[in-house]
Amino acid sequence: MSRQHDVKRYPGFGWLTIVFFAWLYLPLLVVVVYSFNANRIAGVWTGFSLDWYAAALKNVPLMNALKTSVTVALIATAVATSVALMAALAIIRGRNVRFRRLSETVVNLPLLLPEIVLAVASLILFSLVGIQNGMLKLILAHSAFCTPFAFLPIRARLQGMNLDFEEASADLYASRWTTFRRVTLPLIFPGVFSGAMLAFLISMDDFITSNMLASGGTTTLPVYIFSLIRSGTSPELNAIGTLMILASLILATIALLVAGRGTRNT
């Protein structure tokens, strides 16, 4: 890149950058800072305290909601990633070229639909079919809407992978299954991992569908937090928020490390 075209040299670049990051992270910073505030009233700093963290961790409904969320997210991630992997293999590596674009669009379409529509549709379907179990409903719905998110990075990785490797494997006497296990999967693993990560975060983050399907005992974390806010804000929320930010940072770091390892391989 030539020096003249370096964006850093545009007038106002520095200021814009500061404003942008402030706009993005200031609210988060406020949450983190006040989670350590001894005072009950937000905005009045009276001293450092970890009381709100203790309160959050002792809050039984909160911990139950967290458990529900993690359970649903883990199962939905496993299901969505497996389905997405199989779909990507069939669509990208399959021989039937005619329906390739159509199939891809069908898999991705839920990304474009408003979530509220999908949520209502799930609700209606479940009552039509007569599924009663709240947990099962959540898992089924989450698995479905997480699939396109898992699909995107897997497809990208598979599409970028040279066919020669799989042909070389077959040439060296590997059956289709061996080729998948020893060549295809290791080479697309960073894509599969990103897909799973994305699916997990989307599931953890979901509010609309989970709220619609929620019944006693199947309250997810976002749904529970929302109910807390309706009964008035509490500094405990700041502590919960800070813990969630921390968890996200850890996940994002792992994802970056895995993706970095993958790009160096090919």
Q: Which residues of this protein are in contact with other proteins, per CB under 8 A?
A: 162, 164-165, 167-175, 178, 182-183, 186-187, 264-266
236 burial (CB, 10 Å; 0-12 / 13-18 / 19+) is buried
Between residues 67 and 182, which has the closer beta carbon with respect to other proteins?
182
Residue 39 region, left (φ>0) first, then alpha (ψ -120 to 50), else beta? beta
In sequence order, the 6+-apart residues with CB closer than 8 A to the CB of 239 are 35, 52, 53, 55, 56
Smallest gap, in angstroms, from Cβ of residue 248 to other proteins? 29
Nearer to other proteins, 122 or 184 (CB): 184
Start-to-end CA span in the chain (Å): 25
CB of 92 to other proteins, least distance (A): 17
CA 218 vs. chain centroid, Å, equals: 20
SS3 114: coil
Using the minimum distance from each CB to other proteins, give the nearer residue, 37 or 169: 169
Q: How far is the CB of 170 from other proteins (least distance, A)?
A: 4
Task: Please identify, using beta-carbon distances, which residue of 105 and 159 lies nearer to other proteins.
Answer: 159
Residue 24 CB, nearest approach to other proteins (Å): 37
Contact 142, 115 (CB under 8 A): no
Shortest separation between residue 174's beta carbon and other proteins, angstroms = 5
Nearest to other proteins of 96, 265 (CB atom):
265
